[in-house]
Chains A and B, each alone.
Chain A
Amino acid sequence: MGEAIYWPSFFFLLFAAVACAFAVAVLLATNIVRMAFYLVVSLSATAGLFFLAGAEFVGAMQLMIYVGGTMVLLIFGVMLTSQERFVEMKTWSGDWVFAFLIGAMLLMILIPAAFSVPQWSGLDRAEVASVSEVNMATPLGMGLLGVRVDQLDRPHQPDVAAQPDGAESQKEPARQVPIQPGYLLLFEIVSVHLLVVLVGAAYLARARRAN
């Protein structure tokens, strides 16, 4: 049936508006716990945008890492360390001007950049409707190993669809995929680095025993 409102756009705008409004609220609030709370709402709305786009893995990641982990740590840190002068934060007017200038400059670069890349302009509605809904995290994992599942039908192996006869042909297409270096090793190195940083921070911040 015909529709007056295009609902995906409606929800996109809704989540986007919530994210932006609470991001502004973070700036305007003076109480540090409220700031943290507004940041949580803003980040959750961003997670909502990811879910809306069908990127469930990224959305859950956003909830887990940003909303869950970071914010708990932030509140934890704030509660343990906050002195009187940090609980109510007043921003100087000079800071406002500086921040506004820098923010405006960043925005001036980002907006033209976002609109100038043709691949980012998105699909029109007919194309969106024709996209089959397979939300899987498997391609992400395979991508880490260097196998681009989304590029299987690239010219390198035009006969993937042509020989659909069961078990032995399953393995064949993958062997013909252009080999790219995986990201797994880099990813692991980065995460081990982060772990080392965490352990180091805990070591530096530990309570020293009185001798």
Chain B
Amino acid sequence: MALYLSNFMWSWLAYTIAALVHVVLILSLVAGGALLFIWLERKISGRIQDRLGPTRVGGKFGWLQTLADGLKLLTKEDLMPEGADRMLFRLAPYISFAASLAAYIAIPFAGGAYLLGAAPWVAQHVNVGVFFVLAVLGLEVFGTILAGYSSASKWSLFGAMREAAQVVSYEVPLGMCVVVPVLIAGSMDLSLIGDRQAGLFTNWLIFHDPFTFIAFWVYLTCATASVNRAPFDLAEAESELVAGFHTEYSGLRWSFFFMAEYGSMLSVSLLAVILFLGAWHGPLPIATWLGLTAEHGAIAMNLGKLLGLINLLLKAVVGVSVMIWVRWTLPRLRIDQVITTCLKYCTPIAAGMLLGATLWQYQFPSRSFFGLTEVPQAVYHLREGPQQAVQNSGSSPESREGTDVPEDEIATVNHPARRGGQVSASDTIPQESIARLR
């Protein structure tokens, strides 16, 4: 977009406008998401506890309750404890929120450069998207730990220390579960992983083999731990630590912690959907049946992408709802139980699933749906390549060439050693060097 705009104005202005559009879109998604999810949390928790939840504000269903809460928070006094480390105390909520927001930079929301042949809807196409998102999401705990330390309160400090202990335990299995889809798609590029699952729901990576199916549930467990939700909300633990790391916060600063929490709930759900649940592809390829693909012009293609966007967000909202459901159903674990769960159970299971998925992929490279069906040819031949150069050029006609790039052009420069996602080393690497490795 920036390149397109710079035909009309100074390039610095063009880049600023392009960046602002992305930032505003992401910010409104996170803020709007928080608005929706807080309301949803109240309604669901109410129903689970046999109450009604909010009913009055905004007429029906109390749908404006969150907004009313936000206004109330704005008018609250901004308190700071006397012994607090003032600078860190002020900064901590913003660090949490900024980290939670930054993860969205690399998350694609629709379409891929690889299947539709046009730029994916992503703020910045990062080639190692999965890795980037994980790395940035890991930074969110800094806000928590700094808040706990700088509050000069024992409850906060206990919360922060629990958080630190928890981080060390869930990061390992989380990373291992994420590697499984990366292994099958043969790329860390989120939009390629998403497009690898085009077609019927049988192509979704969760159904790829028994190992990915289990890896998904392990991922869900660790992701719940990573966003500090019950049964893993040890850092807050209202019943023991007052409010844990944010005991001393009030008003707007406090609400930033909550925006961060709901923002990262949405982003781990988005990541789960992209990695395991078909990304922007619905259970049935309706967009393809309706002809909303690149061959029918830019408008059809963008309509198809819009459908994909709706698909992705719907699935992510379902994921967040599952997290809410779990929170109000299960009791909180003790900190030693959390560490046991993550390190003693999740890590070996995840490692086993990684090994199993590797062997399965080695044995049945072109099968999906537990080995019952064949991966479609169009998907099978997806790979990273020069199509990436068309990123961010929007719906301009030349960006639709992606799928038509001849084989030889892709093959010569990069030739990734991948056939339909399988990293088959024997294809491009001299046999001698493999023998030497053994």
Contacts and interface: CB of A to CB of B under 8 A. Distances in A.
A-B complex is real: yes
Interface string B413-428: 1111100000001011
A44 B241 CA distance: 32
Contacts of A174: 415, 417, 427-430
A137 B429 contact: no
A125 interface: no
A33 B85 contact: yes
A171 interface: yes
A73 B168 contact: yes
A137 B430 contact: no
Given A136-B384, A146-B433, A181-B436, A64 B134 contact: yes
Contacts, number: 157
B384 to A, nearest CB: 6
B12 A5 contact: yes
Interface in B114-132: 126-128, 131-132
Q: Say whether chain A's binding surface is mostly helix, strand, loop, or mixed.
A: helix
**Which of B128, B150, B157, B389: most chain A CB closer than 10 A?**
B128
A169 interface: yes
Interface in A170-211: 170-171, 173-175, 177, 179-182, 184-185
Task: Give the size category of B's interface with A.
Answer: 35 or more
A40 B128 contact: no
Interface in B143-166: 145-146, 149-150, 157, 160-161, 164-165
A133 to B, nearest CB: 6
Interface in A27-54: 31, 33-34, 37, 40
Contacts of B388: 133-136
A167 B110 CA distance: 30
Contact of A56 (B127, B136, B146, B157): B127
Interface stretch (A16-24, A111-119, A158-166): A158-166
B127 A57 contact: yes
B415 A170 contact: yes
Closest 4 CB pairs of A and B: A164-B408, A174-B428, A63-B135, A68-B138
